Amino acid sequence: MVTTLVPESEALLLEKARAEGITTGRERWLAMSPQCGFGELGTCCRMCYMGPCRIDPFGDGPQTGICGASPDTIVARNLLRECVGGAASHVGHARHVLLTLRDALEGKAPYEIRDEGKLFALAARLGLETDGRPAKEVARELVDLALEDFGRQNGKLHNWMRARAPAKELAMWEELGLAFSNPHNEIETAMHRTSMGNDADPASLLMATLRMGLVDGYAGLTLATDLQDVLFGTPQVRRVEANMGVLEENSVNLAVHGHNPVLSEKVLEWAVKLEDEAKAAGAERINVVGVCCTGNELTMRHGVPMAAHNLQSELILLTGAVDAMVVDVQCIWPQAASLAGCYDTAFITTDEMVRIPGATHIEFEPRHADERAQAIVRAAIEAFKKRKGKPVHIPNVKSVGLAGLSVETIVEILSKVNPDDPLKPVIDNIVSGKIFGAAGFAGCPSLKFRDTAMTERMVKALLRENVLVVTTGCTAHICAQAGFLTSAATEEYCGEGLKAVLTAVGEAAGLGAPLPPVWHMGSCVDNSRIVDLLAALAAKLDVKIGQLPVAGSAPELVQEKAISIGSWLLALGLMVHVAPAPRILGSPVVTQVLTHDLEEITGGRAYVEYNPEKAAAGIVAHIAKKREALGI
């Protein structure tokens, strides 16, 4: 039964699916219930074939694995492996962008540097000489430094970590033994460490998890974001539309889904170039729309509509209006390919490591990007010809908002208030209490929490308490669809202090209206932008990031990537709210360390709360504690 909290667009399409006998993730989740309790507690071990072993949480059955591994060991090993999965995803993404930039500089791939300013700023931070040098020459040296990190065997500090990590935190990590050199070595070591018969010390395993979080943060998130800005441009503020109402019945609707803009940038480019072919086929135009994080990438840089978050990737196909869904990596549901076949939708996989039965595979790699992008766009046009004239069911629901608030854009906006010291107005208003604090929302939507509107209710509760919200990933889609990226949301949801600040800054920036109370800062990898902003504020105050009145939240935890991002934030000293609980509750030791003891080591701690209002209250209480410690 669809509850009243399911968004209108989703409710309409779920009813359509039921009427047509199509199962969606919602039905598959219900059929899976109750889910495995051992798995949820983290006490199921599959590290060897004497098992699987599982620990009885009630104390009546087995209390160790067959090898003697304790529940604390089992849980800590499993957590580290989840963190490895997330870090590997982001590091692989970053390396792919790096190799694309290398090929472009060598004239082997049809891409170019679009932001020389970002390039030179990065080069300077990495200690490279930039004065009077051509951009390509500097970029080649930058690429060499990044490639060096992936092959380094001398144990020296990772270049991007050295250049991009906050100084106070880096000193702490070096003292704790958390700093790293080569991300591939770290991933290999973590997998070896957690294989049967190796590390059984939960404390050692948890420190390795924090270290893996740093691998994700600097060899994954930060590296990917930095190089994507160099290649595709640093995002600027754009007015965008969101939700499935952005589909157009009489246009070729081409949905890009996944994470890597190396693909989606080229698809968008060729959609523009081949529009005459679409018109010749009877379409009004080619309408490129974004799903998941690659949608955020195109939204930030080009204003492409935000059509759907990950959980809606099946539902958008149910409209019958999507002519092609082209995917790259991460968060792709295998069922989508089968569903696409019901509606003449071309479902196109493009990455060599993402093969899905029922999909058309068009191998996409940078050296032949133009050729492959043309093939993808023409496949969408051909699908439109089959679909033309057939009924479609596009929900008449969409919202508008502002997206693309990179750190550079935020500083530019704030400079309208104080040109000499752009961050001073933010700090002054935090000190005065008009901005009580800030919370970063990241991650995916979960079937376990969508019917309760977990993310939306938390955001509303925090805004009432004058807590500014910044967001990335699929939570950015949720916030866009909820109307939080608008000036009207500032008027409707904010406490008086935050409302006054956002109004003043919006007026000074020439918007003629308040800034929105939720700032769209990008895709999953762009959590690095949030950390950069916090690092700038902390440096201004001469404190650690963990001393700021801020917190992070993965309000609807789904992916291993959220575990690795959260581990980075814990290492930075932040409180991180998660729901549901990570799979740690089967270990008293791991639970105690992550929710309490870690605060004495890095300053960070995990906070689990399923009720949205209580979760927001917990974040507010944490912010109040940090304010008190700062004397404000």
The 10s digit of each residue's pLDDT in 323-362 is 999 999 999 999 999 999 999 999 999 999 999 999 999 9
Q: Is residue 264 part of a domain?
A: yes
Q: Is residue 19 part of a domain?
A: no
Q: Is residue 392 part of a domain?
A: no
**CB of 218 closer than 8 Å to CB of 150:** no
Residue ranges with strand state E in 94-183: none
Residues 100-117 have a mean pLDDT of 98
CA dihedral 523, 80, 222, 349 (to 10 degrees): -50
State residue 390's pLDDT score.
94
State residue 12's pLDDT score.
86
Q: Is residue 613 part of a domain?
A: yes
State residue 149's pLDDT score.
96
State residue 9's pLDDT score.
78
Residue-wise pLDDT tens digits, 295-316: 999 999 999 999 999 999 999 9
- In terms of Cβ atoms closer than 10 Å to its own Cβ (0-12, 13-18, 19+), residue 121 is middle
pTM, rounded to two decimals: 0.96
Residue that is last in its domain, among 353, 387, 421? 387
Residues 486 and 586 placed together within one structural domain of the fold: yes
Q: Is the pLDDT confidence value at 229 over 50?
A: yes
Q: Is the pLDDT confidence value at 393 over 50?
A: yes
Residues 185 and 302 placed together within one structural domain of the fold: no
H or E, element range at 101: helix 71-105
Residues 224 and 249 placed together within one structural domain of the fold: no
Residues 78 and 222 placed together within one structural domain of the fold: yes
Distances (CA, A) of 161 to 294, 380, 406: 25, 42, 20
Q: Is the pLDDT confidence value at 107 over 50?
A: yes
Residue 215 backbone phi and psi in degrees, to 5: -60, -45
What is the tally of structural domains in the chain? 4
Chain centroid to CA 155: how far? 30
Beta-carbon count within 10 A of 172 CB: 20
Residues 427-447 have a mean pLDDT of 97
Chain centroid to CA 285: how far? 30
**CB of 230 closer than 8 Å to CB of 114:** yes
Q: Is residue 206 part of a domain?
A: yes
- In terms of Cβ atoms closer than 10 Å to its own Cβ (0-12, 13-18, 19+), residue 58 is exposed
Q: Is the pLDDT confidence value at 1 over 70?
A: no
Residue-wise pLDDT tens digits, 49-99: 999 999 988 888 899 999 999 999 999 999 999 999 999 999 999 999 999
Residue-wise pLDDT tens digits, 515-527: 999 999 999 999 9
Residues 196 and 287 placed together within one structural domain of the fold: no
Task: Give 393-459 as a DSSP string.
Answer: ---S--EEEEE---HHHHHHHHTTT-SS-TTHHHHHHHHHTSS-EEEEE-S---TTTGGGTHHHHHH
Would you state the structure tokens that stand for residue 350, as one six-digit string?
A: 């493009």
State residue 3's pLDDT score.
38
**At 195, which CATH number?**
1.20.1270.30
Beta-carbon count within 10 A of 204 CB: 14
Q: Is residue 24 part of a domain?
A: no
Residue 330 backbone phi and psi in degrees, to 5: 70, 135
Q: Measure the CA–CA gap between 496 and 538, rounded to whole angstroms.
A: 25
Cα angle 506, 533, 224; round to 5: 115
Residues 304 and 277 placed together within one structural domain of the fold: yes
Range of the domain at 326: 244-387
Which of 615, 606, 599, 611 lies closest to 582 in space, CA to CA?
A: 606
Residue 252 backbone phi and psi in degrees, to 5: -75, 110
Residues 227 and 322 placed together within one structural domain of the fold: no
Residues 62 and 76 placed together within one structural domain of the fold: no
Q: Is the pLDDT confidence value at 426 over 50?
A: yes
State residue 5's pLDDT score.
60
Non-local (6+) Cβ contacts of 421 within 8 A are none
Q: Could you check whether the bond before residue 7 is cis, i.e. omega within 30 degrees of 0?
A: no
State residue 432's pLDDT score.
97
Non-local (6+) Cβ contacts of 107 within 8 A are none
| Chain mean pLDDT for the chain | 96
**At 572, which CATH number?**
3.40.50.2030
Max Cα distance, the chain (Å): 73
Q: Is residue 586 part of a domain?
A: yes
Residues 208 and 251 placed together within one structural domain of the fold: no
Q: Is residue 425 part of a domain?
A: yes
Residues 137 and 268 placed together within one structural domain of the fold: no
Q: Measure the CA–CA gap between 19 and 341, rounded to whole angstroms.
A: 17
Q: Measure the CA–CA gap between 357 and 371, rounded to whole angstroms.
A: 24
Residues 576 and 451 placed together within one structural domain of the fold: yes
CA dihedral 562, 564, 569, 575 (to 10 degrees): 60
Residues 443 and 356 placed together within one structural domain of the fold: no
Q: Is the pLDDT confidence value at 130 over 80?
A: yes
